[in-house]
A and B are shown apart, each in its own frame.
Chain A
Amino acid sequence: MKVSFQIKLFISLVLFFSGLFVLLGVYYYKDVGRQLYQEMSARAKIQAEEIAIIPNLRQSVANKDIRAIAQFMHKVVAHSDASFIVIGDDKGLHLFHSVHSDVVGKTLIGGDNAEVLQGKSTTTIRKGGLGISLRSKAPIFDDTGHVVGIVSVGYLTSYLDTITLGKVINIFIAAVLLLVALFVFSWFFTRSIKKQIFSLEPREIGLLVRQQKAMMESIYEGVIAIDSELRIEVINQAARKLLGLSQPTRALRGQTIAEVIAPVPFFARKVMLENDTHDEICRFNQLTVIASRVRIMLENKLQGWVITFRDRNEIDSLSAQLSQVKRYVDNLRIMRHEQLNRMATLSGLLHMERYDDAIRYIQAQSEHAQELLDFISSHFSSPTLCGLLLGKAARAREKGVELAFDPSCRMDRPSRALGEAELISIIGNLLDNAIEATQRAELPHEPVEVLILQHEHELIIEVADRGVGITPEIREHIFERGITTKRRGDHGIGLYLIANYVAHVGGSIEVSANEPRGTIFSLFIPETGNVLRPVPTLEDQNYAT
């Protein structure tokens, strides 16, 4: 069973203090006993010595006048708290005993009289006739200085212990009261602690701290927490990286935000007090960021703010991706819609038992594309060129422009003058230009006519569009580098490249205006080039009809 932190704290407090009290009590008890013994032995000694110098008594003892002694001693005993007072003679025989008068004449018990008879006072604890006692013995001298007797004043230990116990009981009562006070105090103390730490266990607190740190560092966004004095409390790795701060987190903590980020309205105190912001674009140290700011309130008091921000470029690329995805989704939706329409048409035709129509309708779906595919793959031998033309045709179709291939198109062998890469580059550029020009013209968009025809002596490439045409002011310069009519893309390098390739192999380019609008590019590339080779007859046979 798990004991909560509060209970644990309470128990440990109580145990600790109880232990402390016990130790104190034991020590005190011992000490009190010791002190009592000392005090009592001193008392016994003084009494014994004082009794020993009483002249009457000395006289009586010297004379061994038992009656006189008893008479006198009874008065003394009445005034003393001693357990017993005994007088003995120089032979060690009782002359008087305060408790047992019947021992008079008998030997003193204890056997510690020799020293006293030599004239010394002693204090001892011995078992006497009454039990264990603390006694002090003093010698009685006569006028000549001879020892004539002994005074023994004794306190029984049982009597002493009774006194000690009384004291200890008092102490114990005090201790119990203290313990109760301690209980109450501990209880309230632990409860207040518990309140302050939201009933969390210390282990949990440690975990929370570690979690917070890990969380802060794993966030991709920059996070800065500042207190109400605008001093940084927390700043994560990402924030330091984005802001280009080289100093460690420890060094940054406690600095004001203005020391770290050049002042911007975003961090103006007044603005910050008024409202929170979400995804505001601003500049932190030359970096354009998208930042959010939230006030932290605790018990209706402003504790500070948390600022999160991220690089705007990332957001831009994200939003670009998103819009692409959206476009894609739109396309899919349109396609799905078309597909449903087709299904509806088809089911209608089937319901009306117009099976031939249904078949024709289905065939029509792929017919055009299949025809184009078959046309291209049967009229051009180069797979790369086929791929390019198919790709361009598909792309153009997506843009709402049709590529119309002239039926006389034919290219059965690689160009003798141009490399494949150059040919692809030329045709690709011409088609791109034509498609774009068509797109920019008003609707309806006329198809782009394409002729790629390989004769024995020449390769003719002609691309004719009915697009926006070329403006007169750049007509003379279209083949120069950097001239472009496009809004985006290759920045006027396409035609420059084409002109270069064609000029290199001794070909020619004609550019003319199409009717009613648009442009025709006609390229003539010599096939017999500089290298005149006889055409192998076998090849002719292969490609003949």
Chain B
Amino acid sequence: MQHELIDVLIVEDEHALAQLHAELIGKHPRLRLVGIASSLADAKIMLDSMQPQLVLLDNYLPDGKGITLISDTQIIRANCSVIFITAASDMDTCSQAIRNGAFDYILKPVSWKRLSQSLERFVQFADQQRVWKIVDQQNVDSLYQLQAKNYRQDNGSKGIEENTLALVQKLFADAAERCFSVDEVVSETGLSKTTTRRYLEHCVEAGFLVVEMQYGKIGHPRRMYRRVAA
């Protein structure tokens, strides 16, 4: 059950590269290579006959673009996921791939580490999917949202440093009732405006500060920050 193999199809016209992908898949205990297609036409035929669960799809093929396969009915019907591979100069196509719900997007030259991680994640995803299906059919929908989620390199990263945060918070603690504008905080702390905004909003979210709108005579209302009354 847990050790069911996942069928993978490689669509790549560069023979050497396809072989490397194949090797990588061959090394993985849970993946099974079912074929290598070197053109769109071949890919369509193989999709039909092999019914793979995952396709490593290169964008530049001799008879067209790989991106056209993503929205192909065969892929959608076969419930097959796509790891889309394209050149770094081709970001537009990537955004299209994202919109079409590719499982992952990898830029050439391919980083093997990155590709391995991607494959690993797919295996987990597939397992999870199976578990979900068994446990509760209803939750499949919410799981599908995971498909479009890429792994997070550093989930906790919010760009907030303790020292800086302390500096900002100290300012408000010292003048409890006072409303500060961003500019005032900037002149007090010496931080840049954008950084200041990050910390202030972080404090708002954390419940340390509140926002008050100040309606002046001219222009737009200004956003002021004040310490939450303890």
Interface membership of B218, Cβ < 8 A: yes
Specify which chain A residues have a CB less than 8 angstroms from the CB of B106 in the assembled complex.
Answer: 370
Name B91-133 residues within 8 Å CB distance of A.
Answer: 91-92, 94-96, 98-101, 105-111, 114
Most chain A beta-carbon neighbours within 10 Å: one of B91, B193, B213: B91
Chain B residues, CB < 8 A from A453: 201
In the complex, which of the residues B99, B211, B213 contacts A387, with contact meaning CB atoms closer than 8 Å? B99
Among B109, B202, B213, contact of A362 (Cβ-Cβ < 8 Å):
B109
Q: Which residue of B lies closest to A375 (CB)?
A: B153
| Shortest beta-carbon distance from A367 to chain B in Å | 7
Name the distance in Å between A279's Cβ and chain B's nearest Cβ: 38
B197 x A451 contact (CB < 8 A): yes
Across the interface, do B98 and A408 meet the contact criterion of CB distance under 8 Å?
no
Residues of A within 8 A of B145 (CB): 381, 542
Give the interface segment out of B4-12, B54-62, B156-164, B171-179.
B156-164
Interface pair A515/B193, CB less than 8 Å apart: yes
Decide yes or no whether A538 CB sits under 8 A from chain B: yes
Q: Does B28 contact A (CB under 8 A)?
A: no
Nearest Cβ in chain B — how far from A382, in angstroms? 9
* Structural contact, B220 and A508, CB atoms closer than 8 A: yes
A356 interface contact, C-beta 8 A: no
Q: Is the CB of B194 within 8 A of A464?
A: yes
A391 sits at the interface (CB 8 A)? yes
Tell me whether A370 and B88 are in contact (CB under 8 A): yes
Closest to A520 in B: B193
Assess the A476–B150 pair: CB atoms within 8 A: no
CB pair B91–A394 under 8 Å, yes or no, is yes
Query: What residues of A have a CB within 8 angstroms of the CB of B94 in the complex?
Result: 373, 390
Q: Check B150 against A390 for contact (C-beta < 8 Å).
A: no
Question: Which one of A363, A406, A456, A508 contacts B221 once the chains associate, using CB atoms below 8 Å?
Answer: A508
Known contacts A391-B95, A462-B197, A512-B193; A373 and B107 CB within 8 A of each other: yes
Identify A476's interface contact among B146, B151, B205, B219, CB under 8 A: B219
A383: interface (CB < 8 Å): yes
**In the complex, residue of chain A having the shortest beta-carbon distance to the beta carbon of B152:** A378
Q: Determine whether A384 belongs to the interface, using a CB cutoff of 8 Å to chain B.
A: yes
A363, A390, A462, A538: the one contacting B98 at CB < 8 Å is: A390
Partner of A367, one of B95, B100, B111, B201: B111
Quick one: which of A377, A388, A455, A538 contacts B205, CB cutoff 8 A? A455
**Please, which residue of chain B has its CB at the minimum distance from the CB of A390?**
B95
Asked if B89 is an interface residue, CB under 8 A from chain A, the answer is yes
B167 contacts A by Cβ under 8 Å: no
Cα–Cα, bound, A366→B112 (Å)? 12
Say whether B223 contacts A524, CB under 8 Å: yes
Using known A-B contacts A377-B105, A460-B201, determine if residue A365 contacts B194 with beta carbons closer than 8 Å.
no
Residue of A373, A378, A407, A512 with highest tally of chain B CB at under 10 A? A373
Chain A 245-256, CB within 8 Å of chain B: the 1/0 string? 000000000000
Q: Does A59 contact B (CB under 8 A)?
A: no
Which of chain B's residues have a CB closer than 8 A to the CB of A383?
98-101, 148
Q: Are A394 and B152 in contact (CB under 8 A)?
A: no
A223 in the interface, Cβ–Cβ < 8 Å? no
A522 on interface, CB distance cutoff 8 Å: yes
Q: Shortest beta-carbon distance, A455 to chain B, in Å?
A: 5
The CA-CA distance from A445 to B217 in the complex, in Å, is: 36
Nearest CB in chain B to that of A389: its residue: B95
A335 interfacial contact with B, CB 8 Å: yes
Measured between beta carbons, the chain A residues less than 8 angstroms from B222 are 510
Per the CB 8 Å criterion, the residue count for chain A at the interface is 50
| Contact present for A390 and B91 (CB under 8 Å) | yes
What residues of chain A lie closer than 8 Å to B111, measured between beta carbons? 363, 366-367, 370
The complex places the Cα of A219 from the Cα of B192 at a distance, in Å, of: 66
Q: Return chain A residues, CB-CB under 8 Å to B99.
A: 383-384, 386-387
A317 an interface residue at 8 Å Cβ cutoff?
no
Q: Is the CB of A542 within 8 A of B142?
A: yes
Question: Is A387 within 8 A of B98, CB to CB?
Answer: yes
Q: Are B148 and A512 in contact, CB atoms less than 8 angstroms apart?
A: no
Among A335, A374, A462, contact of B194 (Cβ-Cβ < 8 Å): A462
Contacts of A511 in B (CB 8 A): 220
Would A370 and B153 count as touching, CB distance under 8 A?
A: no
Whether B159 and A512, one on each chain, are in contact in the complex, defined by CB atoms closer than 8 angstroms, is: no
- A366 touching B109 in the complex, CB below 8 Å, given contacts A455-B204, A510-B223: yes
CA distance A352 to B186 in the complex (A): 51
Residue B155 is within 8 A (CB to CB) of chain A in the complex: yes
Q: Does B182 contact A (CB under 8 A)?
A: yes
CA distance A365 to B88 in the complex (A): 8
- Give Cα distance in the complex from A369 to B198, angstroms: 25
Specify which chain A residues have a CB less than 8 angstroms from the CB of B15 in the assembled complex: none
The residue from B92, B105, B156, B197 contacting A522, defined by CB atoms under 8 A apart: B197
Q: At the interface, yes or no: A434 with Cβ under 8 Å from chain B?
A: no
Once A366-B109, A455-B201 are accepted as A-B contacts, the answer to whether A464 and B193 lie under 8 Å apart by CB is: yes
Do the beta carbons of A406 and B159 come within 8 Å of each other?
A: yes
Q: In the assembled complex, how far is the CB of residue A390 from the closest CB belonging to chain B, in whole angstroms?
A: 4
A545 within 8 A of B: yes
| B155 A545 Cβ-Cβ under 8 A | yes
Q: Which residues of A have CB within 8 Å of B114?
A: 370
- Minimum distance in angstroms from B93 CB to a CB of chain A: 10
- The interface residues of chain A lying within 8 Å CB-to-CB of B220 are 508-511
B202 and chain A: residue at smallest CB distance: A408
The residue of chain B having its C-beta at the shortest distance from the C-beta of A524 within the complex is B223
Nearest-CB residue, chain A, relative to B99: A383
Complex CA distance for A389 and B95, rounded to whole angstroms: 8
A426: Cβ under 8 A from any B Cβ: no
**A residues with CB within 8 A of B:** 335, 362-363, 365-367, 369-370, 373-375, 377-378, 381, 383-384, 386-391, 393-394, 406-408, 449, 451, 453, 455-456, 458, 460, 462, 464, 476, 508-512, 514-515, 520, 522, 524, 538, 542, 545
Between-chain CB contacts (< 8 Å), 28 pairs: A363-B111, A367-B111, A369-B107, A373-B107, A374-B153, A375-B153, A377-B105, A378-B153, A381-B145, A381-B148, A381-B149, A384-B99, A387-B99, A391-B92, A394-B91, A407-B159, A408-B198, A451-B194, A451-B198, A455-B204, A456-B205, A508-B223, A510-B182, A510-B222, A510-B223, A512-B182, A512-B193, A545-B155
Given contacts A389-B95, A514-B194, 13 further A-B contacts (CB under 8 A): A362-B109, A365-B109, A366-B107, A375-B153, A386-B95, A387-B99, A391-B95, A407-B158, A407-B159, A451-B198, A460-B201, A510-B222, A542-B145
The 4 closest A-B pairs by CB, nearest first: A387-B95, A394-B91, A390-B95, A407-B159
